[in-house]
Amino acid sequence: MTTEAVHYISGNWVESADREWTDVVNPATGETVGRSMRGTPGDVDRAVLAARQALPAWSAVPMADRIDVVERLAEGIAAARSRLADALVLEVGVPVSFGRAAQVGVALGDLAALVAAARDHVERTAVSNSLVVSVPVGVVAAITPWNFPLHQIVLKVGAALLAGCTVVLKPSEVSPLNAAILAEIINDLRLPAGVVNVVFGDGTGVGEPLSAHTDVDLVSFTGSRMVGERIMANAARNITKVSLELGGKSAAIILDDAPIEESAAQVLGSCFANTGQTCAALTRVLVPRELAPAWEEAALVAAAHWVPGDPAQESTVMGPAASALQADRIRGHVRAAIADGARLVVGGPASPDDLVGDAWVQPTIFADVTPQMRIFREEVFGPVLAISVYDTAEEAIALANDSDYGLAGGVWSANPQRALDVALRIQTGTIGINGAGLDVGAPFGGVKQSGIGRECGVHGFEEFLETKSIMGAT
């Protein structure tokens, strides 16, 4: 097992000059299970320089060869599936079976969809009287969070490599071990030095200087809305392009002809999987007033499936929160909901009785939630569902859109056309009908304060390209 994460810069494993480390803590036990280098602005400079120097040669590599590299990257990830899932258990508390199937599985799906997009890509087209060519955006700073760390990294690194860009990756300091394994896989690809560089560290030491760097061409960030604002402000100093995948407070709309048990199980699946630490989780549910008691009852039944337990066990469906700090934040949101007058259906702010440690939280459902309550508006990033009632479909649409965020959503109805009509009116970047979840071939991203830009498939690939018009060439 990889338990130490050191920087990977210009094809070499390097330590920061001051050799400071950050502990990696197993949230299920509180034990220290590894450590990662705490990078500095000097490390960022070295990595950006390496990426800049590698850019001309890498961007000239034919697409077929870049595709071959990304396919070999996917093979390396597939071969390391168990190692990666074990690392996710240790550093994030992800249940091992979910880690293997969903976390590593989705990363492989991401790469396959990006490769398909790159294969179909037409690099040169005639537009009006000009030749329009697509060129790599350049040096990419990729800054990623801890919740689906591998998925979030490969969406950026895979697309960048296919587009002919070079990369400096800064993974979350909470989950460096899976990124360290990925760096080993990348090292085995024997790419030219500097094409992919990984600098470990926190927001202050690495994220800030990387997003403010004058020699970065695109900052591709996934994380919180608050840090997204910092990234955008830093990048604005150099008019650097940004792509921001931020938070959400996504609504599930249950129309009056929707199947009750099925929709309740699916909404809870979205809200509680990964201990609720999913940006697109459906965390608000809007239910017709007359169906509310039955839907609440069905949700209570479905909630019995979500029992927190040891993430290393194959049968476990819910692990701890990713850290004691994250659990504290979740409990704070639960207390705020109670203080605001929401009715607790199940769960609550206490830790589950039988589990020892600071990172455990109970899956929680609130009912009678109104738009004035904090639990209706604020992203929890934990397994907490808020049920609100509505009287007309118009009101349901207005409630769903009454959010600063606009990442995802869901609509349930026995009538697909009715569901589509509602879905078209919800202000989000993605929305699923009758339980449809992430489609890695379709664009993923948000509107409003959920971000700028799209990841996944063709649209995610194109974020890493610039278009250039050559007049007089046709």
Choose one: 111-119, 170-178, 190-198, 266-274; the region binding ligand NAD (CB under 6 A). Answer: 170-178
Q: Which of 8, 58, 146, 376 binds ligand NAD (CB under 6 A)?
A: 146
Which range of residues in 124-132, 225-233, 388-396, 409-417 is near ligand NAD by CB under 6 A?
A: 225-233
Angle CA 277–178–55, to nearest 5: 110
Sign of CA dihedral 61, 58, 112, 451: negative
Scan residues 171-190 and list those touching ligand NAD (CB under 6 A): 172-173
Neighbours of 436 (CB within 10 A): 12
Q: Which stretch binds ligand NAD (CB under 6 A): 18-26, 98-106, 118-126, 222-230?
A: 222-230
Residue 245 annotated in active site:
yes
Under 8 Å between Cβ of 286 and 411: no
Rounded least distance, CB 181 to ligand NAD, Å: 17
If one counts every other C-beta atom within 10 angstroms of the C-beta of residue 130, the result is 15
The answer to whether the Cα torsion of 157, 161, 163, 165 is positive or negative is positive
In whole angstroms, what is the distance from residue 148 CA to residue 453 CA? 19
Asked if 143 is part of the footprint of ligand NAD (rule: CB under 6 A), the reply reads yes
208 scored as a contact of ligand NAD (CB under 6 A): yes
Using only C-alpha atoms, what is the Rg of the chain? Answer: 22
The least distance separating ligand NAD from the CB of residue 136, rounded to whole angstroms, comes to 22
Closer residue to ligand NAD in complex, CB, 5/246: 246
In the list 91, 217, 245, 463, the residue contacting ligand NAD (rule: CB under 6 A) is: 245
Candidate segments 22-30, 79-87, 137-145, 383-391, binder of ligand NAD by CB under 6 A: 137-145
Helix 63-79 and helix 149-163: axis angle, to 10°?
Answer: 160
What part of residues 392-431 is at the interface with ligand NAD (CB under 6 A)?
407
* Strand ranges inside 178-300, DSSP E: 196-198, 218-222, 241-245, 250-254, 282-288
Stretch that binds ligand NAD, among 146-154, 186-194, 331-339, 369-377 (CB under 6 A): 146-154
Judged by CB under 6 A, the residue of 39, 109, 138, 145 near ligand NAD is 145
Q: How far is the CB of 1 from ligand NAD (least distance, A)?
A: 22
At 40, is the secondary structure helix, strand, or coil?
coil
Using CB under 6 A as the criterion, what x/- string covers residues 323-362 for binding ligand NAD? ----------------------------------------
Tell me whether residue 175 or residue 263 sits nearer to ligand NAD (CB atom).
175
Q: For residue 40, state whether it binds ligand NAD (rule: CB under 6 A).
A: no
Tell which phi-psi region holds residue 128, choosing left (phi > 0), alpha (psi between -120 and 50) or beta. left
Per CB under 6 A, the segment of 107-115, 182-190, 206-214, 303-311 that binds ligand NAD is: 206-214
Q: Which is closer to ligand NAD, CB of 164 or CB of 320?
A: 320
CB burial readout 135-146, b (16+ within 10 A) else e: ebbbbbbbbbbb
Taking CB under 6 A as the criterion, the residue among 231, 273, 359, 456 binding ligand NAD is 231
Question: Residues 246 to 305: which contact ligand NAD by CB under 6 A?
Answer: 246-248, 279
The DSSP letter of residue 219 is E
How many chain residues touch ligand NAD (CB under 6 A)?
Answer: 30
Is 227 a binder of ligand NAD (CB under 6 A)?
A: yes
Q: Give the up-direction half-sphere exposure of residue 75: CA atoms within 13 A in the CB hemisphere.
A: 8
Determine which residue in the list 40, 144, 240, 243 makes contact with ligand NAD, applying CB under 6 A.
144
Tell which one of 39, 207, 319, 363 touches ligand NAD (CB under 6 A). 207
From the candidates 245, 296, 379, 455, give the one annotated as an active-site residue.
245
Given 38, 170, 213, 249, the residue binding ligand NAD (CB under 6 A): 170
Cα–Cα dist 84/98, whole Å: 12
- Strand pairing report for 32-37 and 465-471: unpaired
User: Applying CB under 6 A, which part among 78-86, 245-253, 363-371, 460-468 lies near ligand NAD?
Assistant: 245-253
Least distance to ligand NAD, CB of residue 57, Å: 28
Of 439, 335, 437, nearest in space to 382 by CA: 335
Quote the CA–CA distance of 366 and 342 in Å, as a whole number.
6
Choose among 115, 103, 127: nearest CA to 64: 115
Is residue 381 a contact point for ligand NAD (CB under 6 A)? yes
Tell me the three state secondary structure of residue 337. helix
How far apart CA 246 and CA 18 sit, in angstroms, is 32
DSSP, residue by residue, 46-63: HHHHHHHHHHHHHHTS-H
Q: Applying CB under 6 A, which residues contact ligand NAD?
A: 143-147, 152, 170, 172-173, 202-203, 207-208, 211, 222-224, 227, 230-231, 245-248, 279, 379, 381, 407, 446, 451
Which residues are part of the catalytic machinery?
245
